[in-house]
Structure 1
Amino acid sequence: MKPATCFPCLACALLLSGCATDGPLVRPEKTATISLDSALAEASRAAASGQQDKALTLLRSAASSYPAEKGPWLSMAQMKFDRASYGEAILHAQEALQRDPGDQVGNSIIAVSGLRLSTKALADLSQQNNLSGSLRSEARDLARVLRTSIGEDVLVPTAAAPKPVRPRAAPAAKAAASSSSSTDPFGSLK
């Protein structure tokens, strides 16, 4: 063989043998992943001992190791809900619902968190006396839907003695009576 044709063949052989090595620089060893149940249990123990940040870190790790599982997302949503971080609770619950749209816990967290955020925003607006016009009518419509959904005449019961049951008045008369007799902008929502 001539040296001019031997050099390219030798270089090609060296390149191919270099690609076939399985050294630590080419392919790092995979870290052992723990089972989903173990990760959730460990996160639960961390949360119970007051280490919320550690628990959230463990749950995020489990969510990335098991991307199709809803469990880590539901646990994060519940932790955020318990800490009154309702916006984050909603986001985590939505992630769980992407994996299981029929999950009752995820839907409940979203519903209750959303209601708590809405209640706070409406209370803030009420204190500022800025609940008027279309916001007021939209709040009335939402309250009507909520009352119908839960089968209650009053959304937020008062701590006072229960009021006697009155026959329902016509909607126009009821609205006129509640708007003239009360300075509470939510009076008509009850």
Structure 2
Amino acid sequence: MEWIIGESPTDLLSVSTGNSIDHGSRYTERQQFDAKRRLLDLVCNKDLHTYPLYLASTLSLAPRVKPVNKGVEASLVQLLETGLLHADPHPGNLRYTSTGQIGFLDFGLLCQMEKKHQYAMLASIVHMVNGDWESLVRALIEMDVVRLGTNIRRVTMVSYLVLSTLKFQFIAVS
């Protein structure tokens, strides 16, 4: 185990917008810019450390540079490589380090996944994106989420009714 020194994404957002974390602090333009740059660095693979201060106002929290959401990447590494998932990854349990890494806190909820469950979970994401509800239900059975003997047609229909309204957006990465 090692110490993690970093900022909470929630605190970075507060500082970047000028909202006081402790209801008394005022942030300089430079502090706000640095917090915004660190937030953008969480979701971009473009080096934002070189942006001059005068460009701070032009940076958006929804950048149009290559998105690589580091939190998603860290979760996929957990799912696909280690099989050990942090089961409570909200902003309060994450720290963003000065080296650009994500640190996870509070390991009270962990899940060790079997290989078959890892593959089924990954497949379920693909099936949801593709709108393949029957295959999604088969993946849920493989993950032991839906038990054998369950009315599969009903689960498939409910999956369709609930999940088909979701819109997945794909962003081309060049």
Interval of TM-score (by shorter of Structure 1 and Structure 2)? under 0.3
Q: Which has the larger radius of gyration?
A: 1
Larger fraction in strand: 2
Larger fraction in helix: 1
What TM-score, normalized by structure 2, do the two folds share?
A: 0.25
Q: Which has the higher contact order (CA 8 A, sep 6+)?
A: 2
